[in-house]
Amino acid sequence: MRSCFCCSLLQGCRCVAGYHFVSACLGVCAILFSFVNGETTSLGIRTFEVIFPLVIFIAALGLVYGLKRKDRCLLLSWMIVQSVRIVLEVVILIILIYTYAVLDDHTYADVDVGETAHSEETAHSEETAHSDNISLMLGMNAAMKVRSSLLICYIIAITADIILNIICLEAIRSYRAVLAGVNGVPVIYQAPEEDQKRGLV
């Protein structure tokens, strides 16, 4: 990658740093908000929910500072954290797709049961208990459809985030390769005019 769409590689990397710094701040704020509301989960999940956003936040700070100082080690640290994040998002995406498939099968099964019960109710109108069961089944079916719609939204959002994170990772990797210079010789920080001459800004 030699450029980030309509901007230079360095400007694109700065946009990547800003985006991930803001998203990391929002993640930390979400964790603090959950603590204030007293939302409780298991200890293992709570520990992961606290530690991983903090790691992403620290890595985002390292990315901002690494771009400013042209430090390849800090960029590599962010790339490692970002790779782990992408792998976790892929795992979550697979789980969501599996959950949607299972939930979708249950939804269609409930529709068939509801239709069968409805025909029996028409034949035996004196049994009011069946009518209550049908209403309950239809209500559960509607709730499952809402959950299916939410799962589709989550799947689309996580897929888009994975694609965006892969593009960001490739941009930082390309800029880190540029900083390596010719034959792997590290580039010492230079003035902005030198960046313009090299086409980095």
User: Any idea where the domains of the chain sit in the sequence?
Assistant: 3-198
Share of the chain above pLDDT 90, in %: 13
Residue, of 64 and 127, whose pLDDT is higher: 64
pLDDT on residue 160: 92
Q: Is the pLDDT of residue 8 over 50?
A: yes
Q: Average the pLDDT over 147-168 and give the result.
A: 87
Has residue 195 got a pLDDT over 80?
no
Average pLDDT value for the chain: 74
pLDDT in tens, 51-79: 888 888 899 899 989 888 888 899 999 99
Per-residue confidence (pLDDT) for residue 94, from 0 to 100:
92
Contact indicator for 117, 134 with CB cutoff of 8 Å: yes
Cα–Cα separations (whole angstroms), residue 1 to 7, 13, 144, 177, 185: 12, 11, 44, 10, 20
Supply φ then ψ for residue 119, to 5 degrees: -65, -40
Range 7-10, long-range pairs (CB < 8 A, 24+ positions)? 8/199, 8/200, 8/201, 9/171, 9/174, 9/175, 9/178, 9/200, 10/67, 10/175, 10/195, 10/200, 10/201
Query: Which of the listed ranges 113-117, 133-137, 140-144 does the model predict with the highest average pLDDT?
Result: 140-144
16-44 pLDDT, tens per residue?
A: 888 888 888 888 787 777 777 766 556 66
Determine the pLDDT at residue 49: 72
Asked whether residue 156 carries a pLDDT value surpassing 70, the answer given is yes
State the pLDDT confidence band at 189, using cuts at 50, 70 and 90: very low
pLDDT at residue 30, rounded to an integer: 78
How much is the pTM? Answer: 0.68
